[in-house]
Amino acid sequence: MESLGTLAGGIAHDFNNILAIILGHASLLSRNRGNPEKQAANTDAIIKATQRGAALTRQLLTFASKTDILFESVQLNQAVIETAKLLGETFPKTVSVYTKLQADLPLIVADPNQLHQLLLNLCVNARDAMPKGGTLSIETTLVVGDVISSRFAQANAANYVVLQVSDTGEGMDQATKRRIFEPFFTTKEKGKGTGLGLATVYGIIESHGGFVDVESEVGVGTTFHVYFPVQIFAEAGLSARKDAAEEIPGGSEMILVVEDEEMLRELLRAVLSSKGYEVLTASDGVEAVEIYAAHRKKIGLVVADIGLPRLAGGDVFLKLKQINPDVRMILASGFFEPGFRVEMLDAGAKEVIQKPYQPNELLKSIRKALDS
């Protein structure tokens, strides 16, 4: 019960901060109606706060082993560059962030979202260890497997990419160091941390076949060494990410939106209508099946939430397949049971996307599904 209290207090603290940012900037939008520059800043702050909330939810789900791991070839240096940019925008100016990245670092096989989560957790932990400021250093290097196997008997890869995150903070004694990866263990004040950050880091490293080592000295600082195996089946190249702000083409097809949250349902209707689509809506699973049965020849795509009243989104999909085996459907939810995504894709769903999502992400998925 004490552990749950610590967890709840930390989450409540983080979410209340996020909600305060959203509420504050939302209230300023109408006040800054005549100042497009200030309105843009308000909107940007709301989006960033929402992304922080989504990241906190992902951290909880990762810790609870309630997320699927989606491996792909990843360039660690690129992930560090993106993270360092975010830290520069959000960390106090008293914390200096430095990077030292080895050139021509080989790709690793990893889940990009979990890799960013690991980096952020380590860096936030380092920031909190330097309440009066200091230096946060992030380095990447390549080492041969023999060096790692002398420290970790299970290490059997030929080479390892090493991520090193160092701070000049308060450091830890041996007793604290022994417990840092325990769930709910935290040295932070009540309400200032969930005790999940490093436990989540440890879980991510293990799921990626890696290892972690920690050096720390009280009053000097702490260094985390994370070792990722270089796997020979990593792809030679990476697909470039398109700019999220790019203009997504619309269309004139009819789309059925199934969403029980009224505000989100109306938002989706407005976004899709603005792109030229004809939109029908349903607020529960049974209504969705009835509407589809009545308009099956006109409906080009169904976009449905998973957690629907009366009939869940996955069951809606299976019933629509009975009506039309070629039905096109995109499923969305804030939480999927492990394996659900693969199960639905195998059954023929065009895509299964995680909430919250940017409107452009959904528009891309819709256009891709309709054109397939």
- Average pLDDT taken over every residue of the chain: 83
Q: Token pair for residue 323?
A: 């009506």
pLDDT the model gives residue 25: 85
Look at the block and give the residue holding tokens 């985390």.
224
- Low pLDDT (below 70) residues in the chain: 1-14, 17, 56, 58-69, 182-197, 232-246, 336, 338
Whole-prediction pTM: 0.52
Q: Is omega for the bond preceding 325 within 30 degrees of 0, making it cis?
A: no
pLDDT the model gives residue 197: 61
pLDDT the model gives residue 239: 41
pLDDT the model gives residue 244: 39
